[in-house]
Amino acid sequence: MTPLVKVCGLTLPEQAAALDEMGLDLLGFIFAAKSPRLVTPEQAAAMPFSRARRVGVFVEQSAEEVRRIMDLARLDLAQLHGGQDQEFCRKVGPQRVIRAFWPQRFADRGELEAELAQYADSCAYFLLDSGTSGGGHGRGLDFAGLAGLNSPRPWLLAGGLGPDNLAEATCLATPDGFDLNSGVESSPGVKDLEKIKMSLQLIKNTKSS
């Protein structure tokens, strides 16, 4: 199957509409206070959409605040990027949660897989990002080190992904999806649509070859 593709950090309505027309699976809006890609719930709600599911990225909010923003912004999924525990995920709704993990926190892959297993019944998807916390680092992970990952939920790969490294990531890491952000931007919050088109083509061609 073709991997899911999410473009995160959207701030411009015309770009959200263009990406929806391209066939993106997930469109992401960031509600982390320190992010240069921060939008309000009202701005996210006004973004045009049709087929793509809408994802909110949350770091410091309570579960109640996440649910409130999801309603205001008309979101389908919450991407929890602040190390939230299983109970937090359940309060948001397991079927609505993408929970971020950072492989570089763990001594080996076995520890990472054990942590993923603990969240199997409290999340719909996992997202693996570079660094040891937060997001937006713009750095890649060890793709080969994630090959054949034993994950109880579909997982998305994040971290500086774009036309320069997506073919390698698709071949080596074999994730269920990709989360694109800084690697397909011209400036924070402003996407380079040509880079996104190239990225989609690379993923499709590499997966089918």
The whole-number pLDDT of residue 1 equals 73
Range of the domain at 78: 4-208
The whole-number pLDDT of residue 208 equals 62
Tally the domains of the chain: 1
Q: How does pLDDT run along the chain (209 residues), one tens digit per residue?
A: 789 999 999 999 999 999 999 999 999 999 999 999 999 999 999 998 778 999 999 999 999 999 999 999 999 999 999 999 999 999 999 999 999 999 988 989 999 999 999 999 999 999 999 876 665 555 667 899 999 999 999 999 998 899 999 999 999 999 999 999 999 999 999 999 999 999 999 998 876 65
Residue 185 half-sphere exposure toward CB, CA atoms < 13 A:
21
Q: Classify burial at 124, counting beta carbons within 10 Å of its beta carbon; exposed 0-12, middle 13-18, buried 19 or more.
A: middle
110 contacts: CB under 8 Å, gap ≥ 6 = none
The whole-number pLDDT of residue 2 equals 84
Catalytic residue, candidates 20, 89, 129, 179: 129
Q: Is 71 a catalytic residue?
A: no
* This model's pTM is above 0.85: yes
Q: What is the dihedral of CA 202, 206, 207, 209, to 10 degrees?
A: 140
Best CA proximity match to 4, nearest among 199, 179, 189, 202: 179
The whole-number pLDDT of residue 149 equals 94
Best CA proximity match to 76, nearest among 155, 173, 6: 6
Catalytic residue, candidates 8, 20, 89, 179: 8
The whole-number pLDDT of residue 174 equals 92
CATH number at residue 155: 3.20.20.70
3-state helix, strand, coil in the chain (%, to 5): 35, 20, 45
Q: Is 8 a catalytic residue?
A: yes
C-alpha dist (Å) from residue 96 to 42, 78, 89, 109, 149: 20, 6, 9, 26, 22
The whole-number pLDDT of residue 55 equals 98
